[in-house]
């Protein structure tokens, strides 16, 4: 394998927004593997209450089970400290011996890329695929990205994906309010959420 694509996220829970983006990227870039990496401690969410990583890994495994190109890595869950992407990309390169690493982010996340740990180094060893999500159209994204330095810009590829207005926070809120979450995420994940009652307290 020469290239690998990573999809990092809190995945609390994973939903069809994540899955559609990953499948679209896999197809458009003809990739043989997309690795979903649940972040143990997402660096920009230290003030937020996040479900136990075990639950988020379990849900991610259930969600990707039917796609032979998708896999889950527990690398960040096993690592101590905050889940910095630079550390993950370096580790992945070592483990898989790949020449090229892609990292999928939503357009909202990529606009904050310069605040990530060692952003310049990260952008030199990894290509970011910035998927447009609802509210962030591609033209608006391109205009904003123009503000970034040229060296950074060449390693960020904006990509239009079928827009799904789904977010994990909305799903958690719906569960708390006793509303339906059907068709927002895979049925196995929906069952897991109801069996474990993770979002009900």
Ligand X SMILES: O=C(O)c1ccc[n+]([C@@H]2O[C@H](COP(=O)([O-])O)[C@@H](O)[C@H]2O)c1
List interacting residues with ligand ATP (CB under 6 A). Answer: 9-12, 17-18, 21, 105-106, 108-109, 131, 133, 164, 166-169
**Residue closer to ligand ATP, measured from CB, 94 or 201:** 201
117 binds, among ligand X, ligand ATP, none (CB under 5 to 8 A by kind): ligand X
Of 39-47, 129-137, 172-180, 181-189: span binding ligand X (CB under 6 A):
39-47
DSSP state of 118: T
Q: How far is CA 114 from the centre of its chain?
A: 17
Cβ-closest position to ligand X: 8
DSSP state of 41: S
**Contact 8/116 with Cβ under 8 angstroms?**
no
Query: CB of residue 58 vs ligand X: minimum separation in angstroms?
Result: 17
In this chain, which of 44, 139, 154, 173 binds ligand X, going by CB under 6 A?
44
Label residues 119-145 b or e (16+ Cβ within 10 Å = b).
beebbeebbbbbbbbeebeeeebeeeb
């Amino acid at each position: 394998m020469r290239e690998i694509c990573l999809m990092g996220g809190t995945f609390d829970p994973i939903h069809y927004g994540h899955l559609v983006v990953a499948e679209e990227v896999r197809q458009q870039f003809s990739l043989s593997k997309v690795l979903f990496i649940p972040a143990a401690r997402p660096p920009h969410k230290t003030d937020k209450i996040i479900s136990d990583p075990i639950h988020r890994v379990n849900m991610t495994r259930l969600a990707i089970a039917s796609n032979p190109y998708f896999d889950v890595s527990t690398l960040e869950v096993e690592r101590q400290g905050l889940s910095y992407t630079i550390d993950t990309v370096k580790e992945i390169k070592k483990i898989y011996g790949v020449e090229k690493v892609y990292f999928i982010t939503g357009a909202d996340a990529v606009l904050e890329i310069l605040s990530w740990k060692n952003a310049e180094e990260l952008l030199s060893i990894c290509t970011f695929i910035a998927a447009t999500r609802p509210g962030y159209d591609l033209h608006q994204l391109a205009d904003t990205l123009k503000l970034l330095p040229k060296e950074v810009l060449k390693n960020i590829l904006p990509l239009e994906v079928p827009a799904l207005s789904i977010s994990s926070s909305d799903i958690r809120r719906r569960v708390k309010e006793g509303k339906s979450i059907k068709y927002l995420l895979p049925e196995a994940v929906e069952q897991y959420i109801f069996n474990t009652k993770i979002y009900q307290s």
